[in-house]
Chain A
Amino acid sequence: MAIFVDENTKVIVQGLTGGQGRFHGLRNREYGTKIVAGVTPGKGGTDVDGIPVFDTVEEAVALTGATASFVSVPPRFAPNAIIEAAKAGISFVVCITEFIPTKDEAYFFNLLRDEYPGTRLLGPNCPGIISPGRCNIGITSGAIALAGGPVGIVSRSGTLTYQAIHELSQQGIGQTTCVGIGGDPVPGTTFIDCLAAFEADVETKAVLMIGEIGGSDEEKAAEYISEHVSKPVVAYIAGQTAPPGKKMGHAGAIISGSAGTAKAKMDALAAAGVYVAANPTAAGEIMVDIVKKLR
């Protein structure tokens, strides 16, 4: 089992004819992901390395039965691409695009929540999702992931997710699904969404969660964990030494006044029974211990 995507997920790539879309779309296909179509307005009827390209998502869905979309288009086109996918009935949209204005994000987040509740958005500004051995949508390197579980990973950071995957894989510990929820202020999918899905997934036995400064989603996750999650959770929060008022690379990674500090998040998670690690390496080590005890 895996969460959100698996070997049966049929994926279209919005922006397949662009440099990024082509590069990652073809890599995802090479990994074994069912990339069934591309969508670029005006390029319908062409193909990218044998993958048919359509003008609209609606057409692509009707002709391929796709249920997921990988959005890899520039920031100014991303909002419409996401909304188009939702309108066409796509149930899982992964948007890797960085630098989308916050107003646009707030707009399509609320539009999806109100009018397209059947569509889950992952991102924007995220590395994507990989269910090792089954499906890889986005920019994660498939080579570092190890299939078979039992660890689920959810993270706001791309490279820290890769680091975590890599450390677990090297210890022979596989992953069920690794979800990069992204570093923007209005993420489509939250820690809680992923924690709920991992809790329900029988193959996932433990969850590694990587948060960072800014916002209060980690605190909300802590509350959720204490009430609803029975599986062990290990957490690392990046930015313990970050100065307030500065955007630390990610648009959402900012301490505003006294809100959004790593300490507040770590305290909340620890109080919820989460194993809170001081750094990514320690998080990996704690997870290795937990998994070894499970065996």
Chain B
Amino acid sequence: MDLYEYQGKEFFSRYGVPTTQGRLAATVEEAKFYAKEVGFPCVLKAQVHVGGRGKAGGIKIVNDQIEASNAADAILGMTIKGHVVDRIWIEQATQIAKEYYCSFTLDRAERKYLLMLSASGGIDIEEVALTNPKAIIRRHIDPIHGVSEQILAQAVVDAGIDEKAQSQVVESLTKLYKAFVDGDADLVEVNPLVLDTAGKVKVLDAKVTLDDNAAFRHPEWESYFLTVELDHREKIAKELGLTYIGLTGSVGIIANGAGLAMATLDVVNQVGGEAANFLDLGGSASADTMVAALEVINDDDNVRSILVNIFGGIVRCDLVAQGICDALQRVKLKAPLVIRLDGTNADRAYEILRPLTSDALMIETTMLLAASRAVAAANEQRN
């Protein structure tokens, strides 16, 4: 789960990371009011889950209420890389002397945590990464032993952090690391970490991705889950407990297993179609799960055909077929269904389904044939 900046700052403060205080506004009126409360000059920042909002005009410094109102009017409703801005974070403007960059993440290749630190932070950090990668230092951290102050003290020197900021940056990094580990974050990134003109180091931005699997030990994440951005299909799927990702094609996909679902997307693409979604039924593939899956897909206006691709290992195909039959009693499908089952008791599954076959329910025995049939059906429906 990705956090918005304001949530990330709240998350940081739980772990003692000093962050800028501010207020959240959802309307121009609120922005005007809170800007005055925060005090001028202050900065209005669009809250979106993507980078590059500064360059897109989503961050504005204002000096009075009129400017605040104009800036809020411009920012609210603006689209940044496909995300519509509906909230603004307002905080006091900082007189920036230097901009640094830091992040903690997992280096999957090394199976260790990775600290990245640079004295060249700010909006061009991606450019820096490409043109001058040496300006970003990388230090691996053993998950068992953690990070020592000594390692961090050396890292800030190696990264070329200004001398007067070094001890403060070490302190910030120590706390950010604690937030990263104890807070079960997949990513903690601060860009920029600034040195202000008064000589104080501040966390000016917060990019945090939390590990959803750790939610069981973080009841305090409840409020973050409420703001997760999902399209309406994804919302329904989540309520029904399915692993679903909305895509833009016309062939609805239902498969069991993440790998098989991904492969189904690939095969549909290879026979000239495009998937409307990724949907992994998981291990059970019962009638209830099948009903839920069909309901979600049925609700998608882009769907012109539905491809069910099941491999039965321990999950027996005949039970899945029975589940499909039950599901069809409960859900009235808008698009034709192509079913392919393979593995344990596949023969019996086809015996169950064969009497039901029609233009609206087709069966195929291989993935490629089923995908071709589903793509053809989708194209026919469109014409």
Contacts and interface: CB of A to CB of B under 8 A. Distances in A.
A64 interface: no
Scoring A99, A210, A243, A279 by chain B CB atoms within 10 A of each residue's CB, the highest score goes to: A279
Given A102-B211, A242-B265, A250-B258, A141 B108 contact: no
A168 interface: no
Interface string B354-383: 000000000000111000000000000000
A110 B344 CA distance: 38
B261 interface: yes
A174 interface: no
Contacts of A13: none
Contact of A279 (B270, B342, B344): B270
A162 B343 contact: yes
Interface SS of chain B:
mixed
Interface centre among A100, A214, A239, A252 (most CB of B within 10 A): A239
A141 B186 contact: no
Q: Which of B181, B245, B255, B256 has the most CB of A within 10 A?
A: B245
A240 interface: yes
A18 interface: no
A246 B108 CA distance: 17
Interface stretch (A37-45, A152-160, A267-275): A152-160
Interface string A133-172: 0000001110110000000000111111111001000000
A241 interface: yes
A160 B213 contact: no
Interface in A220-278: 220, 236, 238-243, 246, 248-253, 278
A249 B143 contact: no
Interface stretch (B109-117, B167-175, B221-229): B109-117
Given A102-B213, A185-B106, A186-B106, A239 B257 contact: no
Contacts of A251: 213
Listed from nearest, the 10 A-B pairs whose CB atoms lie closest are A157-B259, A249-B258, A159-B257, A101-B214, A141-B313, A160-B259, A159-B260, A238-B262, A249-B280, A106-B143
Given A106-B106, A185-B108, 4 more contacts: A103-B214, A158-B259, A166-B311, A249-B243
15 contacts: A101-B184, A101-B211, A102-B186, A102-B214, A110-B142, A111-B144, A141-B344, A144-B343, A157-B259, A157-B260, A215-B109, A240-B265, A250-B258, A251-B213, A280-B367
Interface of A: 27, 75-76, 99-103, 106-107, 109-111, 113-114, 127, 139-141, 143-144, 155-163, 166, 183, 185-186, 210, 212-217, 220, 236, 238-243, 246, 248-253, 278-281
Interface of B: 106, 108-109, 111-113, 142-144, 181, 184, 186, 211, 213-214, 216-217, 243, 245, 247, 255-263, 265-270, 275, 278, 280, 283, 311-314, 342-344, 366-368
